[in-house]
Amino acid sequence: MARTHLIGMLLGVEEDWPAAFEALLGRADLAVREGGETHRFTTERMTIEPFDLRMRPRQSLVIDRLGWWYPMPREWLKKVVLMDHVHLLNNPFTFQAMEKHAAYCAMIRLGLKVPETWMLPNKTPPDNPRFQGTAERYLRYFDLEAVARAVGMPLYMKPFDGGAWVGVSRIENAETLYRAYDESEQRLMHLQASVDGYDVFARSLGIGAETIVLNFHPEKPMHDRYSVDHNFLTPRAGDEVLSILRTVNAFFRWELNSCETLIRGDDVYPIDYANATPDLALTSLHYYFPWAIRSLLKWVVFCCVTGRLQTVDLNTEAYYAIADRADLSYEEKLAGYRKLADKQLDIERYRDFCAQHLAHIDELSVAWVESADFDRIIVETVRNTFPAHEHEQFIAHFRGLMAAWAHDQRAAAA
Ligand SMILES: Nc1ncnc2c1ncn2[C@@H]1O[C@H](COP(=O)(O)OP(=O)(O)O)[C@@H](O)[C@H]1O
Ligand SMILES: [Mg+2]
């Protein structure tokens, strides 16, 4: 029996990684034999149109990049997860609550070292005729400076649901505190204690069972924020960052998410880890871009063949049971969460599956990165991203980084 899995992609304007993913999957031309069936794979970019709530989708799996801002596809995803046998990488219910706030709460509940964080009532109230009467009865006047003192200066004021640094300000005195609060208008804000003088900013990216931890430089321009760096963390810190990423992802049922952690001394502080539409751009991931595409391919194929299904159910109680154990240290709790997470993400089975069915993909992806097909993606992406006078320089820059990746891959395999 043969079965062709349709992989749907709900996309915005990004072209680079979707084109790369389609190209690598096409080149791999997989026929995976498992459970008496031969599994093949094809992709489709999905369109947005009216749908019958009883319609049966054709996809085995959908990669969503729209649900975080676009209600119509988001509601389609919710229908699918409740009704149909389609795997979604990210749970659309927790993803909708993917504001930082929910993630902070859950991880504080698990005892992670989230810096002191408070929420403020929005400066400009909700535009609702009920507000006035409600406020007169129940909205308390508060002393903004007292809250800031409780959090501790310096601090960051940032939107509870933020992303892409929008509305984030560093506050060092009362003047900037009031100004930032006034400017926040309708947005609900957190005040969060700053982790000052950190040694490393690590950004980790999880794609199902695959994870990578990268050295991140937020002060640099986009194309230069990740440095190519293999040993920037001690093994202990590296493992802790990985455990935090896996815990967040498994807890919320996210399989495509990035996590920001600040490392100071022996402490790992998670500050931003609800990014369920993580940056996958070739121009920002550069050297690590082929890894991301290859990992996405492997994970998607694994999910389709093994019939993995996203659900609305979470397993929060199992995590809280560990969190509530007075006899366990922070490290022991984290190890407990990691165990649950590795099980939820099916790490072991995924490894076996890759060894059995996808062992040739690594080599194939290196040859692809060295091909003219891949070069076309670099050239087009640069032309779509940078002004004309920078094209030549950046094409050479990214070609060099991709060649370095291919070279390192060949050296590691030899
Ligand atoms: N608690 C903090 N300590 C130190 N730096 C912080 C803290 N919170 C935010 N930042 C800085 O501000 C940037 C943006 O904040 P972040 O929470 O990541 O928001 P966004 O979701 O917009 O990326 C971070 O990448 C970091 O450089
Ligand atoms: Mg961030």
State pLDDT tens for residues 284-294.
999 999 999 99
Q: 263: which 2 tokens? A: 């490392």
Our CA dihedral for 243, 309, 275, 115, rounded to 10 degrees, sits at: -40
The residue contributing the CA closest to ligand 1 atom 16 is 272
Instruction: Output the CA–CA distances (angstroms, integers) from residue 356 to 328, 350, 412, in the order listed.
Output: 38, 10, 20
Q: Can you tell me the distance from the alpha carbon of 280 to that of 21, in angstroms, rounded to the nearest whole number?
A: 11
Question: What is the Cα–Cα distance from 68 to 92, expressed in whole angstroms?
Answer: 9
Distance, in Å, from the CA atom of 45 to the CA atom of 62, rounded to the nearest integer, reads 10
How far is residue 150 from each of residues 116, 120, 132, 176, 187, measured CA to CA in Å? 9, 13, 29, 17, 21
Ligand 1 site, residue 265, Cβ cutoff 6 A = no
Q: Ligand 2: distance of its center to the CA of 307 in Å?
A: 33
pTM of this structure: 0.95
Catalogue the long-range contacts made by 2-5 (C-beta closer than 8 Å, 24 or more residues apart).
2/37, 2/38, 2/40, 3/37, 3/38, 3/39, 3/40, 4/39, 4/40, 4/41, 4/42, 5/39, 5/40, 5/41, 5/42, 5/60, 5/61, 5/304, 5/305
Q: Counting ligands in written order, which one lies closest to the CA of residue 163?
A: 1
Instruction: Give the pLDDT score at 98.
Output: 67
| Inter-residue contact 183 to 143 (CB < 8 Å) | no
Among the bound ligands, the one closest to the CA of 100: 1
Residue 99 pLDDT exceeds 90: no
- Is the pLDDT at 30 greater than 90? The verdict is yes
Ligand 1 close to Cβ of residue 115 (< 6 A) = yes
Distance in Å, CA 165 to ligand 2 centroid = 6
Atom of ligand 1 minimally distant from the CA of 260: 18
For the stretch 369-404, pLDDT in tens is 999 999 999 999 999 999 999 999 999 999 999 999
Q: Which ligand is nearest to the CA of 153?
A: 1
Which CATH number is associated with domain 116-193? 3.30.1490.20
195 lines ligand 1 (CB under 6 A): yes
| Beta carbons of 24 and 366 less than 8 angstroms apart | no
Q: Which fold has domain 99-115+197-275+309-345?
A: D-amino Acid Aminotransferase; Chain A, domain 1 (3.30.470)
Residue 279 CB less than 6 A away from ligand 1: no
Q: Which atom of ligand 1 is nearest to 195's Cα?
A: 3
| pLDDT tens-digit map of 40-81 | 999 999 999 999 999 999 999 999 999 999 999 999 999 999
The response to whether residue 218 sits with its C-beta less than 6 Å from ligand 1 reads yes
- Distance (Å) from CA 274 to ligand 2 centroid: 9
- Of 414 and 359, the one with more pLDDT: 359
Q: Establish whether residue 111 lines the binding site of ligand 1, counting it when its CB lies within 6 angstroms of any ligand atom.
A: no
162: Cβ below 6 Å to ligand 1?
yes
Q: In the structure, what pLDDT confidence band is assigned to residue 97 with cuts at 50, 70 and 90?
A: low
Terminal-residue alpha carbon distance, the chain: 37
CA angle centred on 30, ends 28 and 36, rounded to 5°: 170
DSSP strands (E only) in 93-147: 117-120
Quote the CA–CA distance of 33 and 77 in Å, as a whole number: 29
Say if ligand 1 is within 6 A of residue 68 CB. no
pLDDT band at 1 (very low <50, low <70, confident <90, very high): confident
> Can you give the pLDDT at residue 272?
94
Between CA 102 and CA 162 the distance in angstroms is 12
Domain boundaries, the chain: 2-96, 99-115+197-275+309-345, 116-193
User: In a 3-state reduction of DSSP, which class is residue 80?
Assistant: helix
Tally of CB atoms within 10 A around 389? 7
Residue whose CA lies nearest to ligand 1 atom number 26: 218
Peptide bond into 71 cis (omega under 30): no
pLDDT at 32: 98
Confirm if 23 and 374 have CB atoms less than 8 A apart.
yes
Q: How far apart are CA 27 and CA 41, in angstroms?
A: 11
For the chain, the residue count is 414
Average pLDDT over residues 89-98: 86
Place of tokens 């791999």: 28
- Choice from 217, 271, 273, 275 to test ligand 1 binding pocket (greatest atom count within 8 A of CB): 271
User: Ligand 1 within 6 A of 157 CB?
Assistant: no
Q: What is the pLDDT of residue 324?
A: 98
Could you give the CA distance from residue 290 to residue 407 in angstroms, rounded to a whole number? 13
pLDDT at 96 > cutoff 80: no
CB 389 within 8 A of CB 395: no
Q: Rounded mean pLDDT of the chain?
A: 96
Residue 2: which pLDDT band, with cuts at 50, 70 and 90? very high
Ligand 1 in contact with 278 (CB < 6 A)? no
Q: Calculate mean pLDDT across residues 101-130.
A: 96
**The one-letter amino acid at 336:** G
**Domain 2-96 class, CATH top level:** alpha beta
Give the closest residue (by CA) to ligand 1 atom 14.
165
For ligand 1, atom 25: residue with the closest CA: 218
Ligand 2 centroid from CA 182, angstroms: 22
